[in-house]
Amino acid sequence: MTSDKVASDMVSNDMLAASFVCNAEFKHLPVGAVQMAKRCLLDFVGVALGSRSMPAVESGFGFLLALGASDDATIIGCNRKAPVIGAVWANSILGSAMDFEDGYYPSVGHPASVIFPVTLAIAERQGSNAQEFLTASIIGYEICARAGMLMTKTYRERPRGSGGSSVYGAASAASRLLGLGCRQTQKALGIAGAYMTAVPVLKSHAHEAMIKGGIPWGAVVGTAAAFLADKGFTGPPATLQDPYESEYDPNARQVIASLGQEYEILNVYFKRYPSCRWTHAALDAAANIMLEHKLTVDRIASIRVETFKEATALDMRRPASLEGVQFSIPYSVALLLVEGEFGVAQMSLACLKNPTVQGLADKVQLHVAPDLDEMFPGRRPARVTITDDRGVALTSEVIEVHGEPGSDFATRGVDDKFRRLAADRLGAAQAEEIHQTILKLENLSSLRALMSLLKG
């Protein structure tokens, strides 16, 4: 057992993290990490633009009324500005409301809707250059990934929502852009951990709550922690995981020590559908069967979905909200098969009440498959069997879902997804201008041109 004396002579894990936050340099970042950061930004911006009509966004913007007026930072696609905290909140709501943004399996989280709201708002307020913005964003992704990875060890016993571990990523990115020193950054991480959000995520899903995984509040908590530390506010040492763990945890040390050597941003995935990733393997598998066998909806007798244990909780047959659709395997599968696609257009009240979709959703049954359950959280697999009206069973198994790192959808698919989402809101010409600006972002002296385009 490590004594207090020995522990006091050790370098704590938050010291290692703070050193990375303060000392990382753009010129030393791998080219691949920079390119991925721009791809993640492109995807996030498209999703934020596409989410504006979601009821959760309209309701969530109510918080802005409590913050007053300011021209500090841009709210994406709204021709509106807000104080930094307001812009972080609003852009995080826009990024996460439709559950369409990127994700990272080991953390069961969504870094884009945490990190970019923070770095865009603070970089705009501070007048940071584009390279510093990208550096801070990559730092945020790396800390966010590792903190989430560490917290998943208790995920099956106590899922707390990705907003929890996200506070560390947000605090790291904010600290970097505010120019905090290592000691101040340690304090920011400690404050963020102590104030960590703790969402009962499965209960939230069951009640179709707009809270979901608590991402926007995690982004706000991390941002606030950096501003507090900048003015001398203190907190306990950061654990980079559950705040009740030790800042000297040797298991956490192994994960944190890879900062600056391995870049987890390279391992994020991207989404084709605006729903929980846990639904996507079933969606892909069902679509594969329909396409391969040229099956029509009217010939479907039953749909059996085998998957991992947590996903079988997503079994709502009559969701009352769009959040309910996002976390329902039966309804999202039925919606895809009836509509022939599942995107922003299907995130509508009309599709929510479609009797044909409701009828097909009743034919979907969920089951735990032990072989697939063993793959979670590293993978989100599913096996779908559709039985037709003649009793013929057609099966498709999806282990590697679309959008995995290095896949075609994670490259060209993201470009297509962005253009579609952005053009619907801003027109094709402005969408393409945003696309080109992000592609060459590291060569720009400031974010002024990008933020002007993003205001809508």
168's tokens: 């560390």
Which residue ranges does the chain devote to CATH 1.10.4100.10? 4-267
CA 456 to chain centre: 23
| Residue 124 clears pLDDT 90, i.e. is over it | yes
CATH of domain 277-398: 3.30.1330.120
pLDDT at residue 199 greater than cutoff 60? yes
Q: Pull the structure tokens for residue 227.
A: 């501003």
What is the per-residue pLDDT for 23?
98
Torsion of CA 157, 161, 163, 169, to 10 degrees: 50
Contact 347, 287 (CB under 8 A): no
* Mean pLDDT across the chain: 94
CB 323 within 8 A of CB 93: no
pTM: 0.94
108 vs 271, higher pLDDT = 271
Residue 128 pLDDT exceeds 50: yes
Q: Is the pLDDT of residue 52 over 50?
A: yes
Residue 156 in this model has a pLDDT that exceeds 80: no
**CA–CA distance, 162 with 213 (Å, rounded to integer):** 5
* Domain 4-267 -> CATH class: mainly alpha
Q: Are 390 and 17 in contact (CB under 8 A)?
A: no
| CATH 3.30.1330.120, the chain: domain bounds | 277-398
